[in-house]
A and B are shown apart, each in its own frame.
Chain A
């Protein structure tokens, strides 16, 4: 039972344009959502998060949107930079519980 889904295995974007990474979830009990970024041979690093009581959270070039009715969240990166090229994981959790991760989306930003 895959509770968190990232249906796009990869995404290619031109430098300076917007990158939009999508994530869907099935468990309505999730109350916190996170995005992690992972470079090869490194562990994932936290990028941005959002509580289920909000619908938007912004941090510099990164914005996460949450649509609870659709059980959908997205990560927007504007403007995209070559250094943003990495694997992006969407994750969800309930209070006190482990993270449930999606399969990841490989983002490639072309210069």
Chain B
């Protein structure tokens, strides 16, 4: 498949546990983004990676959230000590670059439920 893939598709965890969400971007895309959509809300930017530049972490809601992108490809979003308010659909997107006409292609998302 040539699209953005994410795993797992669903994750149920207990409050206080750590979770890792994975994103495989489209091959050759230099930019990778993480967003989340809480129930009834729009998409909220979390973090983005562009090539070898330092990531823009300005959207991460707390220091419990972190992300890395290894080898310029796969990315992992880690949430430590999960809280119930972390429950949301976490969406990853990738693009060739970050200029206006570089379309962001989204994966299907990971639905995270924190009990």
- In the docked arrangement, what's the CA distance between A104 and B33, Å? 19
- B108: chain A residues within 8 A (beta carbon): 41-43
Interface status of B70 (Cβ within 8 A of chain A): no
Question: Do A95 and B41 touch across chains, with their CB atoms under 8 A apart?
Answer: no
- Interface hit among B13-21, B71-79, B80-88, B95-103: B95-103
Interface status of B48 (Cβ within 8 A of chain A): yes
Chain B: interface size category: 20 to 34
Residues of B17-61 at the interface with A, using a CB-CB cut-off of 8 Å, are 33, 35, 40-45, 48, 50, 56, 59
Question: Do B41 and A103 touch across chains, with their CB atoms under 8 A apart?
Answer: yes
Question: Do B56 and A98 touch across chains, with their CB atoms under 8 A apart?
Answer: yes
- A101: chain B residues within 8 A (beta carbon): 35, 42-45
- A36: chain B residues within 8 A (beta carbon): 106
- In the docked arrangement, what's the CA distance between A65 and B8, Å? 38
Question: Do B45 and A99 touch across chains, with their CB atoms under 8 A apart?
Answer: yes
Question: Do A44 and B106 touch across chains, with their CB atoms under 8 A apart?
Answer: yes
- A91: chain B residues within 8 A (beta carbon): 43
- B67: chain A residues within 8 A (beta carbon): none
- B48: chain A residues within 8 A (beta carbon): 98
Q: Nearest Cβ in chain B — how far from A25, in angstroms?
A: 13
Question: Do B45 and A98 touch across chains, with their CB atoms under 8 A apart?
Answer: yes
- In the docked arrangement, what's the CA distance between A106 and B103, Å? 22
8 pairs, A vs B, C-beta closer than 8 Å: A44-B91, A46-B104, A91-B43, A93-B100, A98-B48, A99-B45, A99-B104, A101-B43
Other A-B pairs, 15, CB within 8 Å; known A99-B43, A99-B45: A32-B101, A36-B106, A42-B108, A43-B91, A43-B109, A44-B106, A49-B101, A51-B101, A89-B43, A95-B98, A96-B50, A101-B42, A101-B44, A102-B42, A103-B42
